[in-house]
């Protein structure tokens, strides 16, 4: 990572818009999550992030890992049985595997019905 990216990350962390989420077990690199504060700290980055997340949700839905009623204003995301099938999960890209695990974590933290 170059110095410009380091400065941006430092600014986001210090402003509370970015927080450590763990360490990548394959690379040993730190992983980060955006916080809700991102919307006020960097509206453009927030919009890019929302667009990226929506694209990821669509891919997982199209591949049968999620149930989402796309006709609702605030659709509820539910995991399908395929989201718990390690063989099916192993077929996903690294990014999508991380995404499905992050969705599970978020749903668990909200004490939601994840099926």
pLDDT digits (tens, 9 = 90+) for 60-111: 999 999 999 888 888 888 999 999 999 999 999 988 998 998 898 888 877 6
In a shared domain, residues 34 and 49 = no
Q: Given its phi and psi angles, is residue 111 left (phi above 0), alpha (psi -120 to 50 degrees) or beta?
A: left
For residues 73 and 112, state if they share a domain: yes
Please give the residue range of the domain that contains residue 6. 1-41
53 plus 99 within the same structural domain: yes
pLDDT surpasses 90 at 14: yes
pTM of the model: 0.74
Of the candidates 13, 48, 55, the residue with the CA atom closest to the CA atom of residue 30: 13
Instruction: Note the pLDDT of residue 84.
Output: 95
- Looking at the structure of the chain, the number of domains it has is 2
Q: Examine the pLDDT at 114 and tell me if it is beyond 50.
A: no
Give pLDDT, residue 111: 63
């Amino acid at each position: 990572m170059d110095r410009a990216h380091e400065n941006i990350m430092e600014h986001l962390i210090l402003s509370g818009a970015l927080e450590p989420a763990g360490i990548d077990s394959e690379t040993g690199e730190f992983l980060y999550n955006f916080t809700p504060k991102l919307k006020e700290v960097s509206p453009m980055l927030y919009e890019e992030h929302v667009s990226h997340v929506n694209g990821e949700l669509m891919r997982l839905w199209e591949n049968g890992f999620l149930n989402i009623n796309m006709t609702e204003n605030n659709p509820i995301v539910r995991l399908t049985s395929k989201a718990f099938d390690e063989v099916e999960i192993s077929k996903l890209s690294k990014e999508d595997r991380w995404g499905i695990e992050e969705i599970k974590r978020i749903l668990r933290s909200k004490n939601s019905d994840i099926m």
